[in-house]
Structure 1
Amino acid sequence: MPPSPARTRRSAADRREQLVGIGLQLLPTTPVQELTIDEVARRAGISRSLLFHYFPSKREYYQAVTRAAADLLRAHLTPPADLPAEQRPAWMLERYVGWVETYRESHLAFVRGAAGGDPWVAEVYEETREALVDLGIGALGGLQDPLRRQLVRSWFAFTEDLVHQWVREPAVSREELLALLTDLLEQLLRC
């Protein structure tokens, strides 16, 4: 009988990364608050109790997955350095719409969780929104005055809601949606 393969132990950091990765894999079809610890543990090939060794509570696990998803969203929307400045806002908007199309239920749960007063979701959401506003302002040439920052933040909130509605029930084509949102931002920034 051949010897069984040697089992390698994962480091704590590696195991945490694996568990968060499983949560991220499940996000396209399952909002973070609906992830089951049993399913995550099963996919990792570990016991439920071992998962709680790496994440002391379900909330801490959900928060780690939420933060990782938020980091992925920011990276997804960060324009490449070689993209001409005038193309960056449209590039970012196109990518945002695609993100919501792919992760609609999870993204909606993230936004609603923040609005619903769940403190850990609200904290991650606010950090993410401010980072996205910063990205947008950078793409628009670094508008620094407080009014323009508020306008970009408000436009983003409107965009978030409209894109969620559009993904559920497209009233216009994707190109028309993108043109509408781009035109609205340009009009707001003329104030």
Structure 2
Amino acid sequence: MIYAIQNQIQDQLDRISNSLRAFSLKLTGNSNDAEDLYQDTALRIITNADKYNPGTNFKAWAVTIMRNIFINNYRKKVRRNMIIDQTPNNYYLNSGDRVVENDGETSVAFKELMSLVNDLPEDFRRPFLMAYAGYKYDEIAEELDSPLGTIKSRIFFARKKLQKAYKNIMMERRA
């Protein structure tokens, strides 16, 4: 039974391989990386053949797998470009040749923004601060024991409320 499913998966994969290769090239912009992404995707599809629901859109399933692999690889690459400062505070530093200027207005703006964040209702503030701290939406939903859609909308509306409040502060200053 498993071999029959794997053969069907292999046949479907063969039929859409050109489309997947083109999509991988579009994602990566590099033919070598595109080929690696395609092969990783093909391997994942074949090893997870038992998770495919026959009768559903195979191409959509395969493209989703490819996109997820690409995103995960991108995130790993970004993490690899981070270095950890070994000072006692363990600050994270982005590698690169950026110059950071000290701008007093920035710290004032940050304090004002944090004041606005603190004025948000608790059910908006907590998910927003967790997202700001780098938590993923699903981690926030699990931590707060709320549905994922609720967390996404609360963060979205928290951002909108903050934008509006900050815009009002800036307009008051100009007046």
TM normalised by structure 2 equals: 0.26
TM normalised by structure 1 equals: 0.25
